[in-house]
Amino acid sequence: MQQHGILIVAKPPGLTSAQVTNRIKRLGQRKIGHAGTLDPMATGVLVVLLGHGTKLAEHLNTGTKVYRGVLRLGLTTDTYDREGSVTSEAPWQHIEPDSVRRLILSWTELTEQEVPPVSAAKHGGKPGYLLVRQGITPPAKTKPITVFSAQVLRVDLPRVEFRVTCSTGTYVRSLAHSLGMRLGCGAVLEELEREACHPFTLDQALSLEEILAAGDDLGRLVIPLAEALPHWPRLIATEAQASMVRQGQMLPAGMFPGVTAAPGDKALMLDSSGAALALMQAKIHGKTVVWRVLRGLW
């Protein structure tokens, strides 16, 4: 039976994000997706979208991410992580732990980063990883990022454990690679765990085994659409208002006095039974602020 909502999965290592969703799809989930891809070696929070939950993808993939990682000094690879082909090796024994600490803390000063050659980033319409497979080196490409915080958890050279809170789309393996280049000895990302994908955290996640074992009882594990955006304000619609929304009509913000409605604000509308109805956005219409349907959830 097709479910509508989301699953917070603790992704195991060795599987792509698509392989995780494909396994869950076999439980009768015709429409399925995920928000925020994790590399195969990475573990941690993967938000899987079911049914109408796929309509939430862009809104669940924009939140802050928290990662715990381990980098290793002394080598570089073509993928910037331990799974790639080694491209260089260099001594690291002369590196001072404090030098590594300072560089990790300086990540918060970054405004952009280099995109790894082996990535899904497009170059002339083709993803970088495909060009590399064809023997073509993708042109250098950068992207804007924000690292809100960076912590050094443990230094046991050549390995360093750290935690970063960053904007969506940040390549943590690029952070490791650039650190290695600045130290002059190279570095690769050896471990990566996503601890949070705002607003969800790892302690909410279910193992893939637990999900697959649920079988026809999958519904009891699914977070319903009404709870999938806990950080969004709620608009409770009457039956008449719900009917108007289903017809694509705008509703004056004054109908919902308990919710602030500045142009651009977003809210989740629920019907009188508490079921998710639509994603709404406030806008100016004439001289009035109204709520318009951003995405229907039916």
- The CATH number of residue 176's host domain is 3.30.2350.10
Q: How many structural domains are present in the chain?
A: 3
Residues 80, 90, single domain; the answer is yes
Residues 212, 248, single domain; the answer is no
pLDDT at res. 156: 98
Measure the CA–CA gap between 124 and 54, rounded to whole angstroms.
28
pLDDT at res. 127: 74
pLDDT at res. 287: 93
Residues 80, 113, single domain; the answer is yes
Measure the CA–CA gap between 123 and 129, rounded to whole angstroms.
10
The pTM for the full model equals: 0.93
Q: Is 131 within 8 Å of 116 (Cβ atoms)?
A: no
Residues 95, 120, single domain; the answer is yes
Residues 208, 182, single domain; the answer is no
81 DSSP 8-state letter: B
Q: Is 117 within 8 Å of 128 (Cβ atoms)?
A: yes
pLDDT at res. 133: 75
Residues 43, 100, single domain; the answer is no
The residue range of the domain holding 273 is 234-296
Residues 14, 80, single domain; the answer is no
pLDDT at res. 129: 75
**From the first residue on, what is the mean pLDDT of each consecutive set of 10 residues in the chain (298 residues)?**
98 97 97 95 98 96 96 97 96 98 99 88 75 76 96 99 97 98 98 98 98 97 98 97 98 95 97 98 96 98
Residues 203, 239, single domain; the answer is no
Asked whether residue 194 is domain-assigned, the answer is no
Marked catalytic residue, from 39, 203, 216, 265: 39
Residue 39 among the catalytic residues = yes
Residues 57, 166, single domain; the answer is no
Asked whether residue 38 is domain-assigned, the answer is yes
